[in-house]
Amino acid sequence: MKTTRRSFVRSTGAAAMGAGLLPRLAPARAREATHDVVVVGAGVFGAWIARELQASGRRVALLDAYGPGNARSSSGGQSRVIRMAYGDQEVYTRWSMRSLAMWKAVLAKTGRPSLFQQSGVLWMARERDPLTTQSLETLRRLGVRHEQLERSALESRWPQIDFGGITWAIHEPESGFLMAFHAVQAVVQDAGAIGVSYRQQQVVPPAATGGRLASVRTRSGDTVNAEIFVFACGPWLPRLFPDLLGDRIFPTRQEVFYIGPPPGDERFGVGAIPVWADFAEEIYGLPDFGGRGFKVAPDRHGPPADPDSLERMAGPESLARVRDYVSRRFPALKQAPIVGTEVCQYENTSNGDFLIDRHPEMENVWLVGGGSGHGFKHGPALGEYVAARINEGGCGEPRFSLATKLRTQQRAVY
């Protein structure tokens, strides 16, 4: 009898790892194998889904075209914020709370606890800013540890920040950031340790027969059979399902900058400054960690992006905006050099809610994506949720349904 694990979601609605540490099937066995579930996409969503399904008793294969946490994926890059504040979007606060505990457990299990840095997160606010005031209410209601800090306290604690028009802030001392692509590889490593079969293969667009999908084919000509298929491939979802998702998932180009603090200046490193977010100006940043640099990232949606052909070189327009902001908010960094850049992509839904639903014409196919720039932190809770839906059925969270994914964008989740 197949066993299942009770999921959190039912009640609430790792060092750099080289490819040699990731589990692989020999090619001949991979072509012959039949699995309970095939998960396409080894980003943060797919990795956690595969792990949670395998832990529940399923036999799982995980496929990815470029590798876990690769530079083309939305899970690539150096770091991602994990925070609890989400305005009045309580489901995301609950998922963040659950996910942080699961991230810590898996990173400890794989010997990489430092891939999470408890730097704290600071939410800058101006007077009665709705997003921040709603966040404050939600954090109080759910018992999330936090501080409400007035302007004088902010200036005393972080004098390296010129708060300008900021009048108060929320500080989450137990939140922080994850080392992104290393963390994804740690999850895939742990998934392999419990039996998930990983293969680096590109899947071609699937075709159903009689309302079901019997197998997926890869560009190399392999066929992988399964009872259930989960497509969690981020910005590639519209390519695999163009008629259904071509105008409902919107990949956008997002640019990130790393600024080098002055020699010997430790005011911008972990322990001296938290992760910070200024959503009124749609920008956020992370402290310098390991000499990488002080990260500054505009959060405003960029132009449309192709994950395969996107040239990942930052442009002058975003650089100018970042320079202007940094010169105002962090005066000591006004003349500091740019020591690195990244270009990634968000894969946005119409409003920022995730897509987690069955394919309307293939009953054994699940579509999971739409991380919308905030999904990385939620990988563990999302993996539990998807595993519970597949194993136990039941009604899902309405906001994740395909029916709610519109063809015009009106961002509502930050």
User: Could you tell me the CATH number of the domain that includes residue 272?
Assistant: 3.30.9.10
Higher-confidence position of 5 and 380:
380
Q: Is residue 324 part of a domain?
A: yes
> What are 366's strand-pairing partners?
230, 358
Mean pLDDT of the region 55-68:
98
The residue range of the domain holding 190 is 8-75+181-246+351-404
Name the percent of the chain lying above pLDDT 70: 92
At 266-314, the pLDDT tens digits run 999 999 999 999 999 999 999 999 999 999 999 999 999 999 999 999 9
- Structural domain includes residue 154: yes
Which residue among 325, 348, 371 closes a domain? 348
Who wins on pLDDT, 3 or 134? 134
Say which residue the tokens 């990489």 belong to. Answer: 112
Predicted confidence (pLDDT) at residue 254 exceeds the cutoff of 60: yes
Predicted pLDDT at 11: 36
> How many CB atoms lie under 10 A from the CB of residue 28?
9
Q: Decide if pLDDT at 69 tops 60.
A: yes
pLDDT band at residue 20 using 50, 70 and 90 as cut-offs: very low
In a domain, 109, yes or no: no
Say if residue 236 is in the same domain as residue 263: no
Are 294 and 166 in the same domain?
yes
pLDDT tens track for 343-353 = 999 999 999 99
What is the reported pLDDT for 33? 55
Residues 52 and 68 in one domain: yes
* Residue 389 placed within a domain: yes
Tell me: do 196 and 136 sit in the same domain: no
- Over residues 238-264, the mean pLDDT reads 97
Cα distances from 106 to residues 44, 193, 275, in angstroms, run: 13, 12, 23
Q: How far is CA 127 from CA 131, 161, 374, in A?
A: 11, 18, 25
314 shares its domain with 268: yes
How much is the average pLDDT of 134-146?
98
Asked if 369 contacts 230 with a C-beta cutoff of 8 angstroms, the reply is no
- Condensed to tens digits (0 to 9), the pLDDT of residues 285-298 reads 999 999 999 999 99
**Structural domain contains residue 99:** no
Q: Is the pLDDT of residue 156 over 80?
A: yes
How crowded is residue 216: how many other Cβ atoms within 10 Å of its Cβ?
24
**CB contact at 8 A, 376 and 178:** yes
Asked if residue 134 belongs to a domain, the reply is yes
At 174-229, the pLDDT tens digits run 999 999 999 999 999 999 999 999 999 999 999 878 899 999 999 999 999 999 99
87 found inside a domain: no
Residue 187, domain member (yes or no): yes
What would the pLDDT profile of 87-129 be if each residue is shown by its tens digit?
Answer: 999 999 999 999 999 999 999 999 999 999 999 999 999 999 9
What is the pLDDT, as a whole number, of residue 23? 41
Given a cut of 50, whether residue 48 has pLDDT beyond it is yes
pLDDT at residue 8 tops 80: no
320 lies in the same domain as 300: yes
Q: Name every residue whose Cβ is closer than 8 Å to that of residue 11 and which is 6 or more positions away in sequence.
A: none
pLDDT band at 7 (very low <50, low <70, confident <90, very high): very low
Mean pLDDT of 147-152: 98
Three-state SS sequence of the chain: CCCCCCCHHHHCCCCCCCHHHCCCCCHHHHHHCEEEEEEECCCHHHHHHHHHHHHCCCCEEEEECCCCCCCCCCCCCCEEEECCCECECHHHHHHHHHHHHHHHHHHHHCCCHHHEECCCEEEEECCCCHHHHHHHHHHHHHCCCCEEEEHHHHHHHCCCCCCCCCCEEEEECCCEEEEHHHHHHHHHHHHHHCCCEEEECCECCCCCECCECCEEEECCCCEEEEEEEEECCHHHHHHHCHHHHCCCCEEEEEEEEEECCCCCCCCCECCCCCEEEEHHHCEEEECECCCCCEEEEECCCCCECCCCCCCCCCCHHHHHHHHHHHHHHCHHHCCCCEEEEEEEEEEECCCCCCEEEEECCEEEEEEEECCCCCCHHHHHHHHHHHHHHHHHCCCCCHHHCHHHCCCCCCCCCC
Q: What is the pLDDT of residue 394?
A: 85
Q: For residues 243 and 194, what is the distance between their CA atoms, to the nearest angstrom?
A: 36
Number of domains in the chain: 2
